[in-house]
Amino acid sequence: MVKVLGSVAILLIVLARTVLSYDRPGTRKNLVIHPSNEDDPTSPDQVHISLVGPDKMRISWITQGSIMPSVVYGTVSGKYESSANGTSSTYHYLLIYRSGQIHDVVIGPLKPNTVYYYKCGGPNSTQEFSFRTPPSKFPIKFAVSGDLGTSEWTKSTLEHVSKWDHDVFILPGDLSYANSYQPLWDTFGRLVQPLASQRPWMVTHGNHELEKIPILHHHPFTAYNQRWRMPFEESGSTSNLYYSFNVYGVHIIMLGSYTDFEPGSEQYQWLENNLKKIDRKTTPWVVAVVHAPWYNSNEAHQGEKESVKMKESMETLLYKARVDLVFAGHVHAYERFSRVYQDKFDKCGPVYINIGDGGNLEGLARKYKDPNLEISMFREANFGHGQLVVENATHAHWEWQRNDDEVSVQKDSVWLTSLLADSSCKI
């Protein structure tokens, strides 16, 4: 079995490398992280949390053995006054991999800006975790980074993020870079657990989550949908691949670049309805997240359908709804654009930010178009993460932190005014 796994891994890596069309230097080796307690099949592994509605949290984790999917929790360490039960599932990939037991439990209602202590699997579990719920007033702090992977650069990015006291982490696709080699999903879950068990991680998918192989595996997003369940039903979506959620004062729309997005598609119709229902008095800020960028002056990933056609289909919807910001990944570099609509500066358009710089094994996309586009305000091929602080209903501060020689360095920052505050941009 080990030889078979090794052969499959080599084949998948070779196939992945054949689709690269540009150099990505500056790589660091991938990490291998084993379970912290391999002798106990009921020990919680790969713990992460995500928001569900206005006052609930989903706790997700994996065990190697079967257990009752339950969580006990409370606001005092060691004292668990509440409990909830959930569901368990597993999945197979090809004929050589079967996941552990994947558990999902939704807990709540929870108080805002409150630390909760919890145990996965009941009060007799050996490990206690904790998280803090987002506040119910400004400021709200979001950490943002895409295309993470499981490399030493990823670890560096996560260490820098951990030093900033944020409320929610947003990931614009390409999580583990397993590329069908499923044990990398387990390494990714263990790598992010220290952060993802303490703050909600809200993610969307990228091309590396597809994992569809002709003849061998027909169903896309198998691992992603099983391991990273997001609150899609709560926003009226029928798919885990696109959804929306609110954090005080901010409505965030997570779109799917690699599922149908043409006019008339389920995602398109859902987006139309979602945008119509936004109450700007409650959420004066609106943010969208995709994987494949709609604006990009890097030489990487030019002309791809998921960028060009999705932009053609949905850009006007976002523009008319006065979306403030659009985050994207995919390109392994950082770039910030001005407010844009239909390839030109437009003061009523969104600010587009590409931040696929989390640290993946493939390295950086170093080549940019020359001369630069007038609408591109800052660009740099380096690993890092972003910090969005929504200060109030009208102003927010964006900052990009570069991972430079193991130290997080501020390289780009800008103050943003919400489109709601601009009387000439009223809907």
Q: Residue 422 contacts by C-beta under 8 Å, 6 or more apart in sequence?
A: 347, 348
Q: Residue 33 contacts by C-beta under 8 Å, 6 or more apart in sequence?
A: 150, 186, 187, 190, 191
d(CA 58, CA 232): 12
Catalytic annotation present for 301: yes
Are the beta carbons of 362 and 332 closer than 8 angstroms? Answer: yes
Are the beta carbons of 262 and 313 closer than 8 angstroms? Answer: yes
Q: Which amino acid makes up residue 189?
A: G
Alpha helices, DSSP H, located in 84-182: 152-162
d(CA 336, CA 347): 15
d(CA 305, CA 283): 32
Q: Residue 275 contacts by C-beta under 8 Å, 6 or more apart in sequence?
A: 253, 317, 318, 320, 321
Q: Residue 56 contacts by C-beta under 8 Å, 6 or more apart in sequence?
A: 106, 107, 108, 109, 110
Is 203 strand, coil or helix?
strand
In terms of phi and psi (left: phi > 0; alpha: psi -120 to 50; beta: otherwise), the region of 128 is beta
Alpha helices, DSSP H, located in 197-282: 222-227, 266-276
Instruction: Calculate ∠ Cα 168-172-173, nearest 5°.
Output: 125
Are the beta carbons of 295 and 369 closer than 8 angstroms? Answer: no
Starting at the edge strand found earlier in the chain, the sheet holding 101-107 runs: 45-52, 56-63, 101-107, 87-89
- Please report, to the nearest 10 degrees, the dihedral formed by the alpha carbons of residues 12, 15, 21, 22 taken in order: 40
Catalytic residue among 160, 205, 301, 332: 301
Q: Which residue has the tokens 């500056």?
A: 26
Are the beta carbons of 366 and 210 closer than 8 angstroms? Answer: no
Number of residues written out for the chain: 427
Positions annotated as catalytic residues are 301
